[in-house]
């Protein structure tokens, strides 16, 4: 059979299995049907409920505007799939082309899409994490339970970690009139994602809304008697809190792939820009694809660096590229080149970014007023624009996306009508990425080109409050 | 010897004889996506370039940014409404108006109007029953949005004959009617704007000292939001804009909709069976026969480069929205009316920070109007195709649309 014929046969009655039934998995399934795939489609998900949308879980669900079970993702079309929900995948047999499930079943596939995403990083001390009143927010059950607790009007909420999720949860608390303390190990909120200039603006924003913001401190201990009562900080201080929200970022769900032979580790599953997974040696596979939060994919605009993006839009766009490539001939493959975008709603401000700020060496305000907390700032890297962030000015970001895509010079020079008082670039000042990605990941064995192979170094357990990427 | 210059493509588009079908001329324009005109202005006609410019912070809506503002300064009045301003003034005024129109402060306002809109449409349709021939414009598509915008703003509906004349003269300012002396058109337009402003200022004054009503004028007059309160001048400018936009555009969208459906009876039939299809149908209408064809001018605030052409600071830029909507480089099979089109990111409401303020209302009005009409018209036929058009090349739509039924 020619490769053309076999592709045709696969499109007609092949078997595609998607592991991970959330945003990326669902959108990929829909895109596969849009592409004309008529074979068998199986979606495997460890949660028992149908796919739902996560952005509202740290916002509208917690304010009470949207019920937790009112977040089901809208369906763009019928997908005619077999759903295996409430059961996790536990292993992958690449050679035998089978997914192993936690209940012992084995699901054969012709092509596989991995969209297992990320879970919340839990509080490292298990006994403290088990105290009643200690939450993470990743699933809709998490969010629903936290909302009930907020409804009861706790005396104080402690949020550990001032990234986007932690900041949004703190914002909801203030909106609901609940006293809240935010503890962040870095010098300011959002600093890991947006750098120290935006971080200091975010810190002012939090304090202006009555947040008890404590930066540069770790939470050393949670104290309680079955229920959490009190938290101790590294500076010796302590506070009473009835609710503690652990917002320390995510852990990529790759453990089930540990012995699969894929390049899957704590940073995700590495793949090419066409979403084809790499095996442990960095060789591209033909039948295994990756999309969404768990994927780690090189971006040509960013010096072909591998980017792991936990962004809603990235999941949607990457799923579409993966689906296309899964059922198309090699001559018609798409690269996943879309610009990363991200948004957050906190303390009444819409924060949106485009590009990859963390790579920047400089930042300059280009439009609006920092003082009024409505502005756009561009990030520069070696004299070109590589990202931008807006506070209540999101409609301009399309322009900055084009500046990034055309490698426009930084700082952008031409004046706009809404000129800021100070447009001088300042250092972007991100926490040292070495702190984030320290340590070896693999060891190379063998000598001859035919025998050289790679093996993972098993990472040790994460230390409390280790910086997340 | 003098040689008469052949008219440019743009001039031929503006000529009334092209009104019924400007689309072949738009295709001609797209041969040069960014075309410098003899008068130094630039015409942009392709989807991506229009979209790029509408998101470019160097594109100004303030007539003062034009090297030669000409009559543009007169269009939006003084002080201008937010449509004729740049950030930050634009953002502040639009934000203050939006507090009383949409999310996040008034998230349900439009949807709550649904019963009223349906009742108005039902009433108008009842008047059509038993008539062999109707004029979709005069009997339906004009009175409906006018009634709605009057109610929303708090302008007495019975004053319509008075302000209608002013609105016509103001809209003519946007236009290029060769039959009319430009100076006279300008004089009439400026006078009409004065009259309309005076009328609205009187209305506003009458609101003061009374308990605030539900209408936008009252709400703006009594607002105490985070941006403070609009000055009376600003309220009048805003009301002025919304009154004009609210009744000069939706009429085109509804009428173009009826015309297009009668030209595509298979879609009309489907719509009768699947009323929920109206949402996609209206989006496709906004692409295929949009109510606003042209943004007559924007200004280059700095030098800007688009599609390899550098437009110097101070230049006038004309954006051909309806041409962008038919650009085959962006829309597959663009001259086909296809309500099933996916990802229909049309330019029917513009794009960027000046995206049509009233878009959610216009959508709902048109959805209700068209669904109501297709259900009730019995065996409708066009009396004339093409119908007679209004003068305007900018706000393009039929002047009358005679339909026979029964």
Could you tell me how many CB contacts below 8 A there are between chain A and chain B?
Answer: 50
Measure the CA angle with vertex B351, ends B348 and B356; round to 5°.
Answer: 65
The confidence score (pLDDT) of residue A272 equals: 96
CA–CA min distance B397, chain A (Å): 30
Residue of chain B minimizing CA distance to A413: B302
Instruction: Give start and end residues of each alpha helix (H) in B72-207.
Output: 72-75, 89-98, 109-112, 114-128, 136, 143-153, 160-173, 182-207
Residue of chain B minimizing CA distance to A76: B342
Which sign, positive or negative, has the C-alpha torsion A334, A336, A338, A342?
A: positive
For residues A199 and A202, what is the distance between their CA atoms, to the nearest angstrom?
A: 5
The confidence score (pLDDT) of residue A469 equals: 37
Partner residue facing A396 (CB), from B57, B301, B303:
B57
For residues A170 and A417, what is the distance between their CA atoms, to the nearest angstrom?
A: 35
Residue of chain A minimizing CA distance to B352: A395
Whether residue B82 lies within 8 A of chain A, CB to CB, comes out as no
**pLDDT (tens digit per residue) in B220-274:** 988 888 898 999 999 999 999 999 998 889 999 999 999 999 999 999 999 999 9
State the 10-residue block means of pLDDT for chain B, 406 residues long.
74 95 98 95 97 96 90 71 95 95 92 97 94 96 96 93 90 74 85 92 85 86 88 94 91 98 97 97 98 96 94 97 97 97 95 96 98 93 96 95 94
The confidence score (pLDDT) of residue B177 equals: 66
Whether residue A367 lies within 8 A of chain B, CB to CB, comes out as yes
In 3D space, the residue among B393, B247, B273, B251 whose CA is nearest the CA of residue B322 turns out to be B393
For residues B350 and B355, what is the distance between their CA atoms, to the nearest angstrom?
A: 5
Cβ contacts of B55 on chain A, cutoff 8 Å: 395-396, 398-399, 402
Buried-state track A186-201, b at ≥16 Cβ within 10 A, e below 16 = bebbbbbbbbbbbbbb
The confidence score (pLDDT) of residue B146 equals: 95
C-alpha distances (whole Å) from A235 to each of A187, A200, A204, A415, A430 are 14, 21, 21, 46, 23
Instruction: Give start and end residues of each alpha helix (H) in B330-399.
Output: 359-376
Whether residue B113 lies within 8 A of chain A, CB to CB, comes out as no
Q: Could you tell me if B295 and B318 are in contact, meaning their C-beta atoms sit under 8 angstroms apart? A: yes
Cβ separation of A418 and B60 shorter than 8 Å?
no
CA–CA min distance B303, chain A (Å): 8
For an interface test with A, which of B54, B56, B57, B85 has the most A Cβ atoms less than 10 Å from its Cβ? B57
For residues A291 and A50, what is the distance between their CA atoms, to the nearest angstrom?
A: 19
In sequence order, what DSSP letters do the residues of A55-111 get, joined into one string?
GGGGTHHHHTSS-GGG-BPPPSS----EEEES--EEEEETTTTEEEETTS-EEE-SE
pLDDT per residue rounded down to tens, chain A (469 residues): 688 999 999 999 999 999 999 999 999 999 999 999 999 999 999 999 999 999 999 999 999 999 999 999 999 999 999 999 999 999 999 999 999 999 999 999 999 999 999 999 999 999 999 999 999 999 999 999 999 999 999 999 999 999 999 999 999 999 999 999 999 999 999 999 999 999 999 999 999 999 999 999 999 999 999 999 999 999 999 999 999 999 999 999 999 999 999 999 988 999 999 999 999 999 999 999 999 999 999 998 898 989 989 999 999 999 999 999 999 999 999 999 889 999 999 999 999 999 999 999 999 999 999 999 999 999 999 999 999 999 999 999 999 999 999 899 999 878 899 999 889 999 998 876 544 333 445 667 676 766 777 676 654 444 444 433 3
Partner residue facing A402 (CB), from B52, B58, B352:
B52
Cβ separation of B52 and A415 shorter than 8 Å?
no
The residues, any chain, with a CB within 8 Å of residue B366's CB and separated by 6 or more, are: B250, B253, B254, B257, B282, B285
For residues A340 and B93, what is the distance between their CA atoms, to the nearest angstrom?
A: 31
Whether residue B281 lies within 8 A of chain A, CB to CB, comes out as no
Partner residue facing A399 (CB), from B56, B87, B355:
B56
Torsions phi, psi for B167 (to 5 deg): -60, -40
Q: Could you tell me if A347 and A205 are in contact, meaning their C-beta atoms sit under 8 angstroms apart? A: yes
In 3D space, the residue among B362, B340, B338, B337 whose CA is nearest the CA of residue B349 turns out to be B362
Torsions phi, psi for B181 (to 5 deg): -65, 125
In 3D space, the residue among A57, A55, A79, A78 whose CA is nearest the CA of residue A67 turns out to be A57
Whether residue B315 lies within 8 A of chain A, CB to CB, comes out as no
Partner residue facing A416 (CB), from B52, B91, B301:
B301
Whether residue A396 lies within 8 A of chain B, CB to CB, comes out as yes
Stretch 235-264 of chain B: residues touching chain A, C-beta under 8 Å: none
Cβ separation of B88 and A398 shorter than 8 Å?
no
Cβ contacts of B86 on chain A, cutoff 8 Å: 417-418
Cβ separation of B55 and A369 shorter than 8 Å?
no
> Which residue matches tokens 């949860």?
A169
Cβ separation of B87 and A395 shorter than 8 Å?
no
Cβ contacts of A399 on chain B, cutoff 8 Å: 52, 55-57
Classify residue A227 by its DSSP letter. Answer: B
Which token pair is A376? 């756009």
What ipTM, to 2 d.p.? 0.89
Whether residue B60 lies within 8 A of chain A, CB to CB, comes out as yes
For residues A411 and A380, what is the distance between their CA atoms, to the nearest angstrom?
A: 7
Residue of chain A minimizing CA distance to B52: A399
Measure the CA angle with vertex A77, ends B345 and A286; round to 5°.
Answer: 95
Residue of chain B minimizing CA distance to A369: B88
In 3D space, the residue among B251, B250, B249, B263 whose CA is nearest the CA of residue B403 turns out to be B263
Cβ contacts of A398 on chain B, cutoff 8 Å: 51-52, 55, 352
Cβ separation of B88 and A369 shorter than 8 Å?
yes
The confidence score (pLDDT) of residue B76 equals: 63
Q: Could you tell me if B222 and B204 are in contact, meaning their C-beta atoms sit under 8 angstroms apart? A: no
Strand partners, B225: B228
Cβ separation of A418 and B303 shorter than 8 Å?
no
For an interface test with A, which of B87, B298, B356 has the most A Cβ atoms less than 10 Å from its Cβ? B87
Cβ separation of B353 and A396 shorter than 8 Å?
yes
Which token pair is B399? 């002047």
The residues, any chain, with a CB within 8 Å of residue A76's CB and separated by 6 or more, are: A27, A30
Q: Could you tell me if A109 and A93 are in contact, meaning their C-beta atoms sit under 8 angstroms apart? A: no
In sequence order, what DSSP letters do the residues of B256-315 get, joined into one string?
HHHHHHHH-HHHHHHHHH-GGGHHHHHHHHHHHS-S---EEEEEESS-EEETTEEEPTT-
For an interface test with B, which of A417, A418, A419 has the most B Cβ atoms less than 10 Å from its Cβ? A417
Which H helix or E strand runs over A18? strand A15-19
Cβ separation of B88 and A374 shorter than 8 Å?
yes
Write down the pTM of the prediction: 0.90
Residue of chain B minimizing CA distance to A366: B57
Residue A51 CA, chain-centre distance (Å), reads 17
For residues A211 and B174, what is the distance between their CA atoms, to the nearest angstrom?
A: 51
The confidence score (pLDDT) of residue A199 equals: 97
For residues A254 and A114, what is the distance between their CA atoms, to the nearest angstrom?
A: 10
Whether residue A371 lies within 8 A of chain B, CB to CB, comes out as no
Cβ contacts of B301 on chain A, cutoff 8 Å: 415-417
Cβ separation of A399 and B57 shorter than 8 Å?
yes
Q: First vs last Cα of chain B: how many Å apart? A: 61
Cβ separation of B353 and A395 shorter than 8 Å?
yes
For residues B366 and B140, what is the distance between their CA atoms, to the nearest angstrom?
A: 11
């Amino acid at each position: 059979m020619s490769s053309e014929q076999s592709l045709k046969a696969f499109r007609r009655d092949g078997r595609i299995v998607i592991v991970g039934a959330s945003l990326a998995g669902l959108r990929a399934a829909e895109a596969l049907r849009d592409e004309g795939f008529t074979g068998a489609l199986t979606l495997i998900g460890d949660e028992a409920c149908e796919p739902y949308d996560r952005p509202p879980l740290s916002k509208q669900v917690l304010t009470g505007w949207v019920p937790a079970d009112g977040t089901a993702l809208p369906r763009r079309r019928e997908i005619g799939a077999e759903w295996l929900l409430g059961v996790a995948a536990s292993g992958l047999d690449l050679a035998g082309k089978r997914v192993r499930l936690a209940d012992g079943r084995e699901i054969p596939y012709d092509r596989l899409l991995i969209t297992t995403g990320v879970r919340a990083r839990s509080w490292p001390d298990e006994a403290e994490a088990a105290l009643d009143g200690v939450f993470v927010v990743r699933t809709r059950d998490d969010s629903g339970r936290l909302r009930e607790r907020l409804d009861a009007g706790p005396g104080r909420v402690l949020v550990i970690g001032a990234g986007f999720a932690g900041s949004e949860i703190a914002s909801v608390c203030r909106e609901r009139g609940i006293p809240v303390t935010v503890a962040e190990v870095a010098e300011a909120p959002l600093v890991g994602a947006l750098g120290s200039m935006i971080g200091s603006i975010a810190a002012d924003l939090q304090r202006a809304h009555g947040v008890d913001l404590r930066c540069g401190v770790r939470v050393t201990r949670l104290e309680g008697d079955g229920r959490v009562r009190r938290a101790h900080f590294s500076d010796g201080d302590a506070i009473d809190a009835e609710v503690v929200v652990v917002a320390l970022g995510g852990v990529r769900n790759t453990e089930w792939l540990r012995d699969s032979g894929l390049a899957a580790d704590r940073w995700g599953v590495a793949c090419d820009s066409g979403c084809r997974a790499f095996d442990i040696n960095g060789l591209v596979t033909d039948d295994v694809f990756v999309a969404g939060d768990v994927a780690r994919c090189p971006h040509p605009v960013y010096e072909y660096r591998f980017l792991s993006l936990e962004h809603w839009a990235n999941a949607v766009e990457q799923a579409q590229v993966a689906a296309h490539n899964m059922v198309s001939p090699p001559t018609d493959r798409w690269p996943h080149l879309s610009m990363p975008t991200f948004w957050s709603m906190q303390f009444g401000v819409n924060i949106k970014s485009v590009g990859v700020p963390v790579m920047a060496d400089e930042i300059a305000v280009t439009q609006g007023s920092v003082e009024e907390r409505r502005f756009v700032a561009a990030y520069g890297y070696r004299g070109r624009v590589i990202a931008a962030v807006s506070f209540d000015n999101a409609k301009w970001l399309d322009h900055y996306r084009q500046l990034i895509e055309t490698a426009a010079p930084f700082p952008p020079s031409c004046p706009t009508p809404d000129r800021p008082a100070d447009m001088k670039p300042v250092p972007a000042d991100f926490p040292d990425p070495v702190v984030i990605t320290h340590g070896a990941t693999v060891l190379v064995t063998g000598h001859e080109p035919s025998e050289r192979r790679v093996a993972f170094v098993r990472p040790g357990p994460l230390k409390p409050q280790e910086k997340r990427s | 010897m003098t040689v008469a210059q052949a008219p440019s493509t743009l001039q031929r588009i503006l000529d009334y004889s092209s009104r019924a079908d400007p689309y072949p001329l738009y295709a001609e324009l797209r041969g040069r996506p960014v075309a410098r005109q003899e008068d130094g202005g630039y015409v942009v006609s392709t989807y991506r370039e229009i979209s790029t410019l509408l998101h470019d912070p160097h594109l100004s809506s303030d007539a003062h940014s034009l090297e030669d503002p000409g009559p543009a300064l007169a269009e939006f009045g003084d002080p201008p409404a937010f449509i004729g301003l740049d950030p930050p003034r634009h953002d502040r005024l639009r934000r203050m108006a939006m507090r009383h129109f949409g999310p996040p402060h008034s998230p349900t306002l439009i949807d709550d109007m649904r019963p009223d809109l349906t009742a108005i449409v039902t009433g108008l349709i009842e008047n059509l029953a038993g008539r062999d021939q109707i004029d979709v414009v005069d009997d339906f598509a004009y009175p409906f949005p006018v009634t709605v915008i009057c109610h929303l703003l708090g302008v007495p509906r019975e004053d319509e004959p008075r302000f209608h004349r002013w609105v016509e003269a103001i809209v003519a300012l946007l236009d290029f009617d060769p039959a009319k002396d430009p100076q006279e058109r300008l004089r009439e337009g400026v006078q009409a704007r004065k009259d309309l402003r005076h009328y609205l200022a009187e209305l506003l004054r009458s609101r003061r000292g009374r308990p605030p009503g539900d209408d936008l004028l009252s709400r703006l007059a009594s607002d105490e939001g985070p941006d403070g309160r609009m000055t009376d001048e600003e309220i009048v400018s805003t009301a002025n804009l919304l009154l004009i936009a609210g009744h000069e555009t939706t009429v085109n969208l509804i009428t173009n909709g009826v015309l297009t459906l009668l030209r595509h009876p298979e879609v009309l039939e489907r719509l009768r069976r699947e009323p929920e299809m109206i949402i996609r149908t209206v989006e496709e209408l906004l692409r295929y026969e949009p109510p606003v064809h042209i943004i007559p001018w924007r200004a280059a605030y700095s030098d800007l480069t688009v599609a390899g052409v550098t437009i110097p600071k101070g230049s006038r830029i004309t954006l051909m929205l309806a041409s962008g909507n038919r650009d085959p480089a962006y829309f597959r099979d663009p001259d086909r009316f296809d309500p099933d089109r996916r990802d229909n990111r049309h330019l029917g409401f513009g794009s960027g920070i000046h995206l049509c303020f009233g878009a959610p209302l216009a959508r709902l009005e048109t959805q209700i109007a068209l669904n109501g009409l297709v259900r009730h018209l019995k065996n409708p036929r066009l009396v004339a195709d093409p119908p007679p058009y209004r003068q305007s090349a900018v706000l393009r739509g039929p002047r009358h649309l005679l339909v026979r039924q029964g």
